[in-house]
Amino acid sequence: MPKIDPKPSTTRESLIKTGLMLFGNAGFDATSTRQIAQAAGTNISAISYHFGGKEGLRTACAEYVSDLVMTTVISNLPPVKELSAADASAVLENILSGLTNLLLLEPQAKDLTQFMLREVTQSTELLDVIYPKFFEPAHKSICELWAQATGQDADSSEVILTLFSVVGQVVYFRIGQEIVRRRMGWENIGPNEVQAIQTIIRTNLHATLDVARKGLMQ
């Protein structure tokens, strides 16, 4: 647990934020420490001093995003056990809509999501930081919601994999957004386009939920 520093190094934080921006946009390998230092308003040696090197800044960025998402999103979820099946479905639907908005629209979150997506597909070592801090608790939460909504077991292979497929749909619209944009003939992906995507995701969610509920009744 990092203790709260009443006067945190503003240089350190500035480096993490610009690192997140540049790593997210161009990728880790395509971003030089000189670029980062300049954009952060400091010099190259500050990276070595604060993080031990470029790789250390990468880790610090991953920790920063993981902590941010956990404290602002995951820990604010309602207590699952107290929800009815219908309420659990509704919460799940809201989470998916929120995630779609976050991944496709939020300009503030653009750097963060792009950085995370890159790291997940590229660096396997960094997952040791991101997975336990963020992905595992987040995925467990939505599995519990699904279990509450369907009556299935939250820890079963079937539920865990199903939730990956449900979330995967949303993530793909971010990964392949340029392909989607071209195929749909959209000029850009704005609120109206996101709404069309959300409708499809919602329809799929309810179709899969219904099948899961019926499967248990047999």
d(CA 118, CA 171): 12
- Cβ neighbours for 76, distance < 8 A, ≥ 6 positions apart: none
Residue 165 found at the interface with a copy of itself (CB under 8 A) = yes
The single residue among 64, 87, 131, 213 that binds a copy of itself, judged by CB under 8 A, is 131
CA distances to 18, 80, 174, 204, 208 from 151, in Å: 45, 13, 31, 19, 13
The single residue among 18, 22, 33, 166 that binds DNA, judged by CB under 7 A, is 33
- Whose structure tokens read 């503003």? 10
d(CA 217, CA 118): 41
State in angstroms the smallest separation of the CB of 121 from a copy of itself: 6
Closest C-alpha to 209, from 146, 161, 138, 154: 146
What residues between 45 and 84 interact with DNA by CB under 7 A?
45-50, 53-55
Minimum CB distance to a copy of itself smaller for 85 or for 180? 180
Residue 53 found at the interface with a copy of itself (CB under 8 A) = no
Count of residues interacting with DNA (CB under 7 A): 22
Residue 26 found at the interface with DNA (CB under 7 A) = no
Q: Rule CB under 7 A: which residues touch DNA? A: 9-12, 31-35, 41-50, 53-55
